[in-house]
Amino acid sequence: MSVAVITGAASGLGRVLASEFVKAGYQVAGLDIQDQAPLHGVTAWKVDLTDSDAVRTTFAEVRAMLGAPTVCVTAAGIYPRSTLVDATVETYRAIFDVNVLGTLLSAQAFADVVDELAQNTLVTVSSVDGISPFSKSVLYSASKAAVINLTSGIAEELAGRAIRVVGIAPGYIATDRVIELNGGRHNLPVDASDPTEIAQACIGLTRGGGISLLTGQTVTLRRSALETPSLSND
């Protein structure tokens, strides 16, 4: 059975990803700094994803316990609101440490433990805000732009280690936290996606090692205006 590592697996998109990868037949290692409620098919590790030694140790433990992972999805992220006026050094460091450094350290550790004879895929999670910045979340937007750049920058290097790298840039995702921040489902944009849709897209991008001609690219995942909205009228 193939092994997938999902970071940020305690809540939000990460938890949905963990659940959906289990349904797709994977053994899942869920990594998060928060305690994780039990989830069938997921082995939980509590780890600070900004601690290099802890991340490397955890990935080594995953390989020893479950086998060499073939998939890693870096879904861990934080998104406190920030503007130029109210941005602080502390907020900057918190956002960039989790969103960018956490992605970097997970990519390094994943590369250390894969079987280079297997078909392996690293999926980084950015956001459409990294492409078109949101004025009320300037630091978050900048961090996700950095993830997009990192994805492109490491693709050639990791190709030499049998790892395809692909990024996803979702639009609004109707996680519990996003629904709370928006004051309910009825306040979500009409193009908001269910997190299960994003998870299924990730599975499609990783199955069998992914799409052979797609590496180093970040794919926007956003509901088309031609599609029927599925969330805002619930």
Q: Cα angle vertex 96, ends 94, 99, to 5°?
A: 100
Token output for 27: 């053994």
Instruction: Report which secondary-structure segment, H or E, holds 204.
Output: helix 195-206
Token output for 197: 């849709």
* DSSP letters spanning 176-192: HHHHHHTTSGGGS-TT-
The owner of tokens 């709370």 is 180
Q: Is 140 tagged catalytic?
A: yes
Of 26, 79, 92, 140, the active-site residue reads 140
What is the sign of the dihedral through the CA atoms of 174, 69, 114 and 109? positive
* DSSP letters spanning 81-129: -B-TTT--HHHHHHHHIIIIIHHHHHHHHHHHHS-TTS-EEEEEE--GG
- Cβ neighbors of 220 (< 8 A, separation 6 or more) are 128, 131, 168, 169, 170, 171
Positions marked catalytic: 140
